[in-house]
Each structure stands twice: as structure tokens, then as C-alpha cells.
Amino acid sequence: MTDPHDRSNFCYRHPDRQSFVLCQRCGRTICGECQTPAAVGVHCPECVKEARGNAPRLQPQVVGRVRSASRRGAPVVTYGIIGVTVAVFLLQLVTGTGNGVVTRALAFYPPLEIVQPWRAVTTMFVHGSILHILFNMYSLYIFGAELERQLGRGRFAALYFLSGIGGSAAVALLAPGSFVVGASGAIFGLMAAFFVIARSLGGRSIQLLVLVGINLAIGFIVPGIAWQAHLGGIVVGGAIAFLFSKTRHRSKHAVQLAVLVAIGVIVVAVLLARSAQLVGLF
């Protein structure tokens, strides 16, 4: 017969609690509070902790898909920008696209840039209408996916965002009182880059040049379009693409990075200097 006063009949974690239940893995006595049901019997807290530590770590399904797509060479930066832009636009629809809280918080306004420098970037994610976002995201899908595959994710991201900031800098210089939304500066930067890279590789890009010219002309003709951003994006995007085309060899990558950083510093410095001049004028 089992002796009820045997110390082995008391929980190893709570010596004052008598129990006759053993951990299925280690055999230690455990009380009801320390028992965790298992496929067979129960386990003590230490065995549960050890089992969890040795179990393979599961990742969210969306993370697994992104990593799988990245390994396959999919343009994940392009898709990520599109996804974030669409999500922001949905928030705009809820709060108001024209003068809603999201639009006011993220849009570019030159006099505010010196105190709210993020606006030169966040303006690329807000749009004024369904047609506006559809045109920009379709263009990003067409040109961005191909450029990302050619340049790599890091260079493509630098090209996209510096072109967009270049568009904001042009607005600050040429239309300092404008309230601007949209990724058009970045999109025109991608178009210019695609043209420069295609020409450097010996390709014929007359159709693309005509397309860029038509869209640029529309900005001058149709009211309410910030053609200044288009122009700034073209200049910066074309300059970066020219840099990439001339420093493709691995031995020139250090030069490429240095010049790319210099372009970024110049664009941001021009933007902030102009914004500082505008404080109190509008």
C-alpha cells in the first residue's frame, strides 16, 4: 500500500500539496495547478517549457510567403510599396481624400518641410482620387517590377524614394505654395530611369520617350497636376540611372554608393534649404 506521508507523494513545486499524479515525461509528482494536459497523461511546467523550446518556430503565413517570393526573385519592394499605398488610400477614403486627417498629415507642403521632414516621403503614399492612384500604381507595377529585377532591391528602393523626394524639391522651388499628394515624382523618375538604362544597353526606347513626353505635357495642360514634381522626378531618376549604368562593374560599387549618397544629400539639402526660406511666407 502507498504511504500517504511519503514525500514523493507531494508536488515537487508545492511541497504542501499532496498528489499521486506523475509527469508523463520526467516522473515527478505534480499537483493539479502544475499539470498541463498532453497527448498522453500530463506534463510538469519544466517539461512543457523544454518541449516548447525545442519545438520548431512557426512563422505567420504571410511572412513565409514574402520570404518565399523574395527567394524566387519576385519584386517584393514594388509589391510592398503598392500594398502600403493602397492601405493608406483606404484610410483616406474613410477620413476624406481631399482634406481628411490622413491627407493633411501626410501630404507635402513646402513651408512645413523644415519642421516636418517626413512629408517629402509620406506624400508618395497619399493620392487625390481613384484615377490618380490607379495610374500611379499601374505605372509602378509595370516599370518598378522590371527595374527592381534589373537593379536589385536596394538600388531600386533608392531610385524610387530619391526620385520622389526630388519631385518634392522641385515643387518647393517652382511652386512653393502648393499642397501636393501622390507618387508622380517617383513614377516619372522610374520612367526616366527605364529610358536611360534601356539606352545604355543599346535598346530602342522611342515609345517610352513618347509616353513620358505625353504624360509630362498633360501636366502642363490639365490644371491641378503638379508638373513640377514630374520634372524633378525625371531629373533625379535620370541622374541616378545614369550613375547605375556607368558603375555596373563590381569594382565600381564603392563609387556608385558614394555618388548615390551625394545625390541624396544634395536633393534633401536643397529641399530643406528652400523650405527654411518659405517659413512665414505662406
Place of cell 549618397: 261
Q: Which residues does 113 contact at the CB level (< 8 Å), separation at least 6? A: 119, 120, 168, 172, 271, 272, 275
Beta-strand ranges (E) seen in the chain are 36-37, 42-43
- Interatomic CA distance for residues 147 and 198, integer angstroms: 10
Q: Give, to the nearest 10 degrees, the angle between helix 153-174 and helix 184-200.
A: 120
Q: Cell digits for 78? A: 514594388
- Is residue 252 within 8 Å of residue 259, measured between CB atoms? no
Q: Cell digits for 162? A: 530619391
- Is residue 237 within 8 Å of residue 190, measured between CB atoms? yes
Q: Which residues does 246 contact at the CB level (< 8 Å), separation at least 6? A: 200, 252
- Is residue 125 within 8 Å of residue 84, measured between CB atoms? yes
CA dihedral 145, 179, 173, 130 (to 10 degrees): 20
Q: Which residues are part of the catalytic machinery?
A: 184, 230
